[in-house]
Structure 1
Amino acid sequence: MNISKQNAVITYITLIFIWASTPLAIVWSVDTIAPMWAMVLRFFLALPLALVLVWLMKIPLPFTRQTCLSYLAGSMSLIVSQTFTYLATAHISSSIIALVFGMAPVITGLIGAIWFSVRLRALQWLGMCVALAGLSSMCLLAQESMHFNVIGIFLVLTSVTIYCFSMYFVKQINAPVTPFAQASGSIIFSTIIAIGFIPFIWEQMPTVMPSLKSISALLYTAVVASIVAMFCYFKLIQNISATTLSLTTVMTPIIALILGAVLNQEYLSMQVYFGIIVIFMGLLLYFYHDIQRMLRERIR
């Protein structure tokens, strides 16, 4: 394995860990900070970092009508989607948040098939149905489980659905910008929207110093989850296949479940674990052809 491949593997592992740990960081950040303020502060901290990186790397950041529409569409996957995720922290555990977000490709496929004329294989439809059945069983059988209720699931599903629609809108607008410029522009628009939230959450503004745990988690979401993850993601886009990158969806929830249990003492009932197993079976069926293709590429 040459150095570039080693770097790609390290970057891949780093991205999986960041995506797996971000839900836990979000939950910890709202420990002593109101959820909406934790989200707003996250973008206030991420914006100057993103702009500094754009300036240092000399990345063009155009503001034409088309690019602004693209940035606005991208902000849907950031602050609009994240609003529901932060609200969900009061109802479900970080591991379940990660698990539901792990279904993003399934929801993306469903949205594409219904609204954007995307053709899916029969096995993908089967995997989609199995994954949704697993999620439904969790909602029906485990409503009283600690760190779990239907309201939280609904909020995260709303968040994931908005995130998936955002990807389609950005693709349809097809603005002539680099991926990093798209992400930075989306952070700018997200921060503008965050400013609009302030009058409605002013009464929840922190009046005492938050705990070190909340501050550390907030910095993690702003710096690592928003900036470092962005670097890793765009680096991988250029170095590995989209199939390999998409399989992070299967691995991320597994690590998130472990992190939630070990670091946050998140208890999940047997009914929840049953639903999780069914969801993973559905994801594996959905990605079956992609996994086969990846294995063939490795053999070659």
Structure 2
Amino acid sequence: MGVVLAMLLAYGINWTFAYVMPVFVAKFFADRPEPTKETFDELFLAMVVTVLIAMAVSNGVTQYPLILLLLVGLLMFWAYYLFQNPKWNFFSTILMITVLLVPYMGVIHPAAALMLGKGLMISGCGAVLIFWLMHSLLPDLDSLAMWSAVNPEQGAASGDTERTYEAERVRNALKALAISFPVIAYFYYFQINGALLTMAFIGILSLQLSCPKSIKLSLFLLLTNLVGGILAVIAYELLVTVPWFPFLLAMMALFSLLFGQKICTEPGKAPIYAGIFSAMLVVFGAVISGSDKAIDVSFYTRIGQISMAGIYLIFVALLVDLHCGATSKADI
């Protein structure tokens, strides 16, 4: 119900970057048992950072490309580092999307950077309000237990263990940055048409590369994004056949119910279903929320860009992990 309500508002009103609100709502329901004070604190901090980045870009940082790319790289590293702490997942996701898209929009259309930042703020606030509303109207007494089974809390580290953990987070963040930053710099340099959606997808996907065991994770990402892309194509073709807003809502409600049931009944596989559903929402929502008259061309062009970006991230992650594994064996 929450995701469907987010779709109704996002696709119906269609403000700037409205299509990310259903993605945020789906992420909340998959990752958190219920809205807490920490949820609102995290949202507020994310919104403040969003506004600050938008204001900085609007005031002329884009006139210095090297400084701009350096700042983007540093903030990406911070997002990768924070993402490894479950308490900061939402903040790091908002930060990553903002860091990649707002400066890029400032380079292309400086006056639109602040508007994009406001759009992300509205989507984030709306996602938290819908999440709180659904839990208020339909409380789930078993949600905390299920969430704990899917996301077990780790004991607090201390001393050498804590320092080792922090060093591992730094290494993982540097690895993710080394993999993703070249393609981001490519988009910034050549200013590829329609790059906003692709970079948003890269931002969300590359956050997962900051986690350990990236070889298995890369295969997981390949599977989820491939299936999610296929489902987005199917949904799009159905919508072309029946271009009617109530049909759109009914179709997406069906997808939401199917994935929601899978996530609730199979908590062990919840990350897989959540990843597939998120990939579908990002790709499908971005296109139908747009105003491009050549929607057929733009849809498949963006699918191609996203596929190439995803293949690049996954392939390089595999190479890095295989190289690191071979180096470790040689040292032994």
TM-score, length of structure 2 as denominator length? 0.26
Higher relative contact order (CA 8 A, sep 6+): 1
TM-score by length of 1: 0.28
**Higher helix residue share:** 2
